[in-house]
Amino acid sequence: MVPEVLEQWNINILTDLLTKGYFESEEFDFKEDLPHSNDEGGKLRLVKTCCAFANSGGGFLIFGVSNNGSVPVQDRLVGIDPNVDFPEHFGSYPQKCMPSLTWAFKNPPISLGNGKVIHIIHIPRSWNAPHSCEVASDGRCFAKRTNKGNEPMSYEEIRLTFLQYYEKRLKLQLLKAELQNIKNHAEELIITGWEARTKFGKGEFSLTVVETVLADTYTILAGQQELLKLLGEIRNRCRIVNDLLRIFYQVATIGWAGNNVEPHPAIEKHNSNVEWECKPIILACTRALEFLENVIKI
């Protein structure tokens, strides 16, 4: 079974894949080394592979494995000199994609008995897709990853990917606006001082937009664990405030609904409970908006 994260890769996994006769798939690709400085074709193929993984479901590049299937498995694990700053040299290839890609590498790399190492690069599925690479002076290639390797995307696939890209960006802008709205409403519900004995906020939080956008953009936000944690906190606390408001409205007397409300301990207690939940909502919204802004800039 192909690992889903970098940490799961080890020498046993590699040996098993090679023993079963795998060469390349939708999820990974074996490379003996980075292309030679004079190998323009090899450089283009590597950039194209980076784009293909990002445009599809993501995948792993395994460097230090020979493609010669006629030799024993152990002989295919040739490795790479551990003294080479491999991530730095590799980094230029994702940068040649348009737009550039995010990637990560296994650290430390997998050590071999011959003193060399296997480097594994992860290129996740990109919500910034479609990515392309330059194939001629005026041409660009949009590649996708299949079980046959890299293949060109069709016109319809490119068009739909662009539409999905803009749709996701608009939804993230909508999420940003809704978080600001929740923050503003939480501030309005906090009533302190003398007014806290006579006034109380009205209007429950609506979470429909947040939950809908979160479901539609989860593939984008899946790697933003801190942001997801904040969104979960915001939703939970908003539900608690909504319950507090409903309970208070049910027990409040008709006289409290007017403009000339007499000071009452129940109103003050209610406002204190609401404030206790709304202050963390404001803080969580502020932090979530900062995280979300960084995601939108990617």
Contact 231, 214 (CB under 8 A): yes
Per-residue pLDDT of the chain (298 residues; tens, 9 = 90+): 788 899 999 999 999 988 887 777 899 999 999 999 899 999 999 999 999 999 998 999 999 999 887 888 888 999 999 999 999 999 999 999 999 998 999 999 999 999 999 999 999 988 888 999 988 766 789 999 998 889 999 999 999 888 888 888 889 999 999 999 999 999 999 999 888 888 888 899 999 999 999 888 887 787 789 999 999 999 999 999 999 999 898 876 555 555 556 778 888 999 999 999 999 999 999 999 999 988 877 6
Together in a domain, 121 and 216: no
Q: Which residues have CB under 8 Å from 113's CB, separation 6+?
A: none
Q: Coil, strand, or helix at residue 62?
A: strand
Q: What is the pLDDT of residue 253?
A: 52
Together in a domain, 122 and 173: no
Domain of residue 32, residue span = 6-153
Together in a domain, 45 and 172: no
Domain assignment present for 204:
yes
Contact 190, 274 (CB under 8 A): yes
- Nearest-angstrom CA–CA distance, 111 and 27: 22
- Nearest-angstrom CA–CA distance, 49 and 141: 11
Q: What is the pLDDT of residue 223?
A: 77
Together in a domain, 260 and 126: no
CATH of residue 44: 3.30.950.30
CB atoms within 10 A of CB 218: 10
Question: What is the number of domains present in the chain?
Answer: 2
- Looking at residue 262, what DSSP letter applies? P
Domain assignment present for 222:
yes
Domain assignment present for 27:
yes
Q: What is the pLDDT of residue 32?
A: 93
Domain assignment present for 1:
no
Contact 210, 284 (CB under 8 A): no
Together in a domain, 215 and 146: no
Domain assignment present for 158:
no
Together in a domain, 221 and 126: no
Together in a domain, 120 and 221: no
Together in a domain, 118 and 219: no
Together in a domain, 136 and 225: no
Largest separation between any pair of C-alpha atoms in the chain: 90
Q: What is the pLDDT of residue 1?
A: 77
Q: What is the pLDDT of residue 138?
A: 62
Domain boundary among 153, 173, 195: 153
Domain assignment present for 95:
yes
- Looking at residue 132, what DSSP letter applies? B
